[in-house]
Amino acid sequence: MKKQDMDWDEAAGGGKRARRAAKRGSKAAIVVCVILILIFGAVAGYMIWEKPPARPGGGLVDPTAESVPPAAETLAPTETPEPTEDPNAGAPASLNEYMYTFLVVGLDKVGYNTDTMMVGCIDTKNHEINVVSIPRDTMVNVSWSVKKVNTLYAADINSGGNGIDGLMDGLKDILGFQIDCYAVVDLNAFVQLVDAIGGVDYNVPIDMNYYDPTQDLYISIPAGQQHLDGEEALKVVRFRSGYATADIGRIGTQQDFLMSVASQMLTLGNIPNLPTFIDIFVNNVDTNLSAENIAFFARQFLLCKSEDIHFYTLPGNYGDSVKGLSYVSINIEEWLQMVNDCLNPYDQDVTEANVNILVHSYTTGFYSTTGYIAGGKDSFYDNTGASG
């Protein structure tokens, strides 16, 4: 074979290899483009499908105008100061279109106990989330004898209601406005939701050992970093007997656990198995949110950074008691500051004139922002064993 023929053949072979490489390159480029189109198409479809929830609105509450008590329940002026006048009277409050408020409730269906209650606000413009835990023993101004916030749900059920309406109304009393959205999560739904996202890596703060045969509850989880499935996570957030501060200690662990969940999701940049998560949420959680609403909040959550998610606990006297029964008496000044800084979606501050809060002090007795105690000051349950 002549040299020029060899050169020609080599050149031809090189051309074929180049064409094959070019074809492989073009195929790879097409695959990448298709993947990108699918990704962007999915994101676009996700955004089109999502929908923000409807807002109840209603402005700031005027509890004295909404619920005038019977005369028998009204305290004498010398016993309870007159309610504070509303500096915003006559000027309607405007709702911030970017801020949504929500309530998350942990429910034990056996006794309709709502020992976990968290009120939150998500700012979809500044991508910030604030969540405030409400201790279960927080005193509320209700007519029945055990005046605790965790009795609101069961009391509404016992009166023929659905539970959540009574709880939402009771929280409106201490917040000064109506919450937009709610989600009541029972124990089984919590387990399913945690399992749906693949479990959670969490540093359990203390050794957790507890057994209660009446609840069929057995907890034996060592302290330390570990991966928790749904059942284990439920035991961690329910445990409280080992904390010196009992319920307040449990609240701290619940907040820390949820922060770990949030950080894990934000680090991944997605919520694993989101369709499954939404399906479980819609079918197993009592909520006024649709699947489209949940998708909306999921995307808003993923736009946040972990440092922009904040947890707080209602400020108050955690060691209060009335007639031998433990209560948390709200520190009204600090609470209103927290409400306005972290939760209030309106352009006016919530004041004492907008809330119906009852507090107790060993030195000054009872104080009500509305000027009355529902049921009267002698209506508190007596847990001392004494009569009268």
pTM of the model: 0.83
CATH classification for the domain delimited by 55-368, as one of 3.30.1330.10, 3.40.630.190, 3.40.50.2300, 3.90.1570.10: 3.40.630.190
Bridge-partner residues for 99, per DSSP?
123
DSSP SS3 for 238: helix
Q: Where in the chain are the domains? A: 1-49, 55-368
Task: Please state whether 276 falls in left (phi above 0), alpha (psi between -120 and 50) or beta.
Answer: alpha
Cα Rg of the chain, angstroms: 28
C-beta neighbour count of 148 within 10 angstroms: 19
DSSP character at residue 72: G
Cα 168 from chain centroid (whole Å): 13
Long-range contacts of 261-267 (CB under 8 A, 24+ apart): 261/197, 261/200, 262/301, 262/304, 262/306, 262/309, 263/306, 264/197, 264/200, 264/201, 265/197, 265/301, 265/302, 266/302, 266/304, 266/305, 266/306, 267/306
Cα 205 from chain centroid (whole Å): 22
The pLDDT score that the predictor gives to residue 8 is 37
What angle do helix axes 274-284 and 291-302 make, rounded to 10 degrees? 130
CA distance 349 to 176: 10
CA 205, 262, 193 angle in degrees (round to 5)? Answer: 90
CA distance 291 to 295: 6
CA distance 94 to 58: 10
The pLDDT score that the predictor gives to residue 319 is 93
Question: H/E element holding 219?
Answer: strand 217-221
The pLDDT score that the predictor gives to residue 147 is 98
The pLDDT score that the predictor gives to residue 6 is 45
DSSP SS3 for 29: helix
Enumerate residue ranges in the chain where pLDDT < 50. 2-12, 18, 21-22, 33-46, 65-81, 387-388
The pLDDT score that the predictor gives to residue 76 is 40
The pLDDT score that the predictor gives to residue 314 is 99
CA distance 286 to 93: 30
